[in-house]
């Protein structure tokens, strides 16, 4: 009887309790059960969504500025021994002076170029359309010409219909426009205060989070927060620096070839470059339309400028400034862009990669914890991945804290 009981216990342990597939399926079932329960009480989280919708925009803006300014503050504090609050105040004064200079000198020039471009854009578009129709005037290409005429008629009709609806929609949405403008003003007024305290108390944030954690995981949580912060810092500073130099290269290149609206096209190229892989290509479209209106040779010159810019950016600027700090495969990056763009549009394309990087760090560390505490992995596999060393470090830290 005892032998039979042991045999049954062994069978139950083998096929149910210690079976990897069974444990995985149970965990998956529990995850979906939790998601289902949360969906039934979604009304509880509506106030939280509203609070996040109000507070997150200024926090995100302050966070971006924090990663740009904090290295300079650290240099002034650590290398030149300047008081941190004095350093922050000094940097704020410089930024305010640059903003005043931009408003007084740069913005009027940009505004004049934008107004001229908007005024002349229909003429540029009609000229490009006429050129394409002449290009397809060959009888052998009558199918393409008919398709082009149909497409142009459809776009023109949609544009006219949209223009007819602009005035009524504008009158109906004045309150919405005022609300949006008010939100923008509130964000711009609130972000500097949040930024100031981020810069002032940057080292206290991690400590305030870690103190609520159990002693045995404090080191792991601290390392995870440091890794997330370093990843975000590398991405934000790298992308903005590359975008700045892309704008400068396009601006200088367009000036050399005599392209119209060089400054505004350069700024647009820099902003769109924040979208990985396809940003510069999107910025090329308006420049090609304007170049087609000027002369066919200008189209070739614009393409040459684009080729030179892409070569310098991909071979020199991006490897030096950004490198592969995000440790993401290009295929993974493209898939993340496709999913984030399909779900959240332009905002998703810009924010998708850093959010994915944060989730990757969190889930990687959770998986490493699972490997250390699971019997599914042998000691050799843990030694190869270095998990035993991390576990030893955590144990030593915990013992020191208890002592």
The chain-wide mean pLDDT, for the chain, equals 79
**Does the pLDDT of residue 176 top 60, yes or no?**
no
Q: DSSP strand E in 50-209: where?
A: none
Closest residue by Cα to residue 265 from 236, 239, 294, 238: 294
Task: Name, of 172-176, 181-185, 259-263, the range with top average pLDDT.
Answer: 259-263
115: CB partners within 8 A, 6+ apart: none
Lowest mean per-residue pLDDT among 104-108, 173-177, 283-287: 173-177
> Cα separation of 129 and 149, whole Å?
9
Q: Higher-confidence residue: 11 or 231? A: 231
Q: Are residues 70 and 230 in contact, defined by beta-carbon separation less than 8 angstroms?
A: no
Q: What tokens were used for 375?
A: 């019997």
pLDDT of residue 197: 92
**Residue 291 and residue 330 in contact, taking contact as beta carbons nearer than 8 Å:** no
- Within 8 A by CB and 6+ apart from 332, the residues are 356
Per-residue pLDDT at 258: 92
CA atoms of 334 and 397, how far apart (whole Å)? 40
Give the N- to C-terminal CA distance of the chain in Å, as an integer: 50
- Model confidence band, residue 397 (pLDDT cutoffs 50, 70, 90): very low
| pTM reported for the whole predicted model | 0.74
Structure tokens at 304: 């040459």
Give CA angle at 77 (71, 78), nearest 5°: 85
Which pLDDT belongs to residue 399? 45
Sequence-ordered list of residues with C-beta below 8 angstroms from that of 201, at least 6 positions apart, any chain: none
For the chain, domain boundaries: 55-200
Give the model's pLDDT for residue 92. Answer: 94
Least confident among 116-120, 158-162, 231-235 = 158-162
**Mean pLDDT, residues 168-184:** 59
pLDDT in tens, 3-42: 544 544 566 666 666 667 777 788 889 989 988 888 888 7
**Residue 60 pLDDT:** 92
**Would the pLDDT of 166 be above 50?**
no
**d(C-alpha 382, C-alpha 373), whole Å:** 11
pLDDT digits (tens, 9 = 90+) for 239-296: 999 999 999 999 999 999 999 889 889 999 999 898 877 788 888 988 988 888 788 8
pLDDT one-digit tens code per residue, 299-323: 899 999 999 999 998 888 887 776 6
| Distances 154 to 55, 93, 360 between C-alpha atoms, Å | 42, 52, 44
Q: What's the pLDDT score for residue 20?
A: 72
Percent of the chain scoring above 70 in pLDDT: 72
- Range 246-251 contact pairs with CB under 8 angstroms and sequence separation of 24 or more: 246/270, 246/273, 246/280, 246/309, 246/313, 246/317, 247/271, 247/273, 249/308, 249/309, 249/312, 249/313, 250/283, 250/305, 250/309
Residue 348 to residue 351: CA distance in whole angstroms: 5
Average pLDDT value for residue range 50-63: 88
């Amino acid at each position: 009887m005892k032998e039979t009981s042991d045999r049954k216990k062994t069978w139950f342990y083998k096929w149910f309790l210690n079976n990897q597939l069974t444990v995985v399926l149970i965990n998956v079932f529990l995850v979906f059960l939790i998601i289902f329960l949360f969906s039934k009480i979604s009304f509880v989280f509506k106030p939280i969504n509203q609070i996040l919708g109000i507070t997150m925009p200024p926090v995100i803006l302050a966070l971006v500025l924090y990663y740009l300014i904090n290295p300079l503050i650290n240099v002034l504090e650590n290398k030149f021994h300047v008081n941190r609050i004095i350093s922050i105040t000094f940097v704020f004064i410089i930024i305010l002076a640059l903003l005043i200079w931009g408003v007084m000198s740069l913005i009027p020039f940009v505004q004049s170029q934008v107004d001229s471009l908007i005024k002349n854009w229909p003429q540029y578009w009609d000229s490009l359309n006429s050129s394409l129709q002449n290009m397809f005037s060959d009888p052998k290409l009558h199918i393409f010409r008919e398709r082009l005429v149909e497409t142009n008629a459809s776009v023109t009709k949609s544009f006219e219909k949209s223009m007819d609806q602009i005035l009524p929609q504008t009158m109906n949405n004045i309150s919405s426009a005022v609300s949006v403008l008010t939100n923008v003003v509130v964000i711009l007024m609130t972000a500097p205060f949040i930024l100031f305290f981020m810069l002032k108390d940057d080292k206290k944030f991690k400590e305030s989070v870690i103190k609520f954690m159990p002693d045995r995981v404090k080191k792991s949580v601290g390392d995870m927060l440091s890794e997330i912060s370093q990843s975000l810092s590398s991405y934000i500073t790298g992308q903005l620096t590359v975008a700045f130099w892309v704008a400068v290269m396009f601006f200088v290149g367009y000036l050399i070839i005599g392209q119209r609206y060089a400054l505004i096209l350069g700024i647009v190229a820099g902003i769109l470059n924040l979208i990985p892989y396809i940003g510069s290509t999107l910025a090329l479209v308006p420049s090609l339309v304007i170049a087609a209106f000027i002369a066919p040779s200008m189209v070739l010159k614009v393409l040459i400028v684009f080729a030179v810019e892409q070569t310098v950016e991909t071979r020199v600027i991006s490897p030096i400034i950004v490198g592969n700090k995000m440790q993401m495969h290009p295929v993974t990056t493209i898939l993340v862009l496709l999913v984030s763009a399909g779900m959240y549009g332009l905002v998703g394309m810009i924010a998708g990669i850093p959010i994915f990087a944060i989730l990757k760090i969190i889930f990687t560390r959770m998986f490493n914890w699972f490997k250390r505490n699971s019997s599914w992995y042998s000691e050799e596999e843990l030694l190869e991945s270095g998990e035993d060393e991390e576990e030893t470090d955590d144990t030593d830290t915990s013992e020191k804290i208890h002592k």
